[in-house]
Structure 1
């Protein structure tokens, strides 16, 4: 009935170990040693005899986890604070204050005169031949047929676009692009 080695809080003496091995022998094998009186087991260890471990040593596997969690939380808070500051700066630079509580003094905005818009020169291009236009419209129709719709409104819109493309393809003359 030996379950293997046992861990003891107090190491057993040699005499105790010998006594246990003699008791475990079958009766057919006589013992060569003279019989000894059974010894009483040692008293259970009291709280005064057991050395106290500090909490840091007792939970030494917890410290790396706590350190990693603290570093992760610190990095998260640091990055969110930076993002928040960038948003506030962008709002202040854009002219609108960050919040109504932080804007105690209203600063009138100076309006700049509108800048003249520069229109790029329109370059006249050659008209696209009708057969190329039809090929292009047929290609667009094929691409519309390949589209997978997610909801009925999108399907309806794509069906309308396909109908318009079919009308242009079947028409005798195409509008100039």
Structure 2
């Protein structure tokens, strides 16, 4: 039996497969870019627009520079910083704190340090955790 040598280059022989592969990759890339843009647009829509209430504008005491000169149509708007309410949580019981400290100590023991400073830092943290575990009462935060 004689070996048959296929005619033409591999690209020409599988031209249809190459085309399908390239079109599929371009389609996948376009889909991925479209989804990323869609997420950004949804994110912008869900953000609540900041409402600026008109307040009496005090006159600035500094003389404006040419770059910050205001026209007659524009006004300076000063807004008060918004503060978030502080969430007061229930204190964690002492036995749960001790369990948490024990877990943290075990995790610190598992950490492999890369250099001397990191090893000293981990050793110091472990020493603090051991002090908390050996003490009679745990300080509240």
TM-score normalised per structure 1: 0.36
Larger Rg: 1
Q: Which has the higher contact order (CA 8 A, sep 6+)?
A: 2
Q: Hey, which of these two has a bigger chunk of helix by percent?
A: 2
